[in-house]
Amino acid sequence: MEVTYSVNGMPIRLTYERWYHIVENHDELASYFYEVLDTIAKPELIVRGNKGTLKAARNMGKKKWLVAVYKELSKSDGFVITAYLLDTKPKGEIIWQQ
């Protein structure tokens, strides 16, 4: 398990179980483990997700956005739900921008 900190200063954990789930469904992310953590720590923008989730996004080059979906449970705990690549900036209400 690895931990990073969101822009709100909350620890966000990425368990190996979640990582296996992510790469099982998005095999193109197999070499992006640390990039997912960095996207949460240093996003270009954060979009409000469903059911209290947050979507941290970072541009990885032309038509390539890395999105890490996570939830902040409390001031001392949060976790990664999933991650994926998009060819456009994620849609939705931007709640934080660099």
Task: For residue 76, name the pLDDT band (cuts at 50, 70, 90).
Answer: very high
pLDDT-above-70 percentage for the chain: 100
- Which pLDDT score is estimated for 28? 95
Query: Average pLDDT of the chain?
Result: 97
Q: Which of 76, 85, 62, 94 is nearest to 13 (CA)?
A: 76
- Which pLDDT score is estimated for 5? 98
Task: For residue 8, name the pLDDT band (cuts at 50, 70, 90).
Answer: very high
Between CA 5 and CA 75 the distance in angstroms is 11
The model's pTM is 0.96
Between CA 9 and CA 20 the distance in angstroms is 26
Task: For residue 62, name the pLDDT band (cuts at 50, 70, 90).
Answer: confident
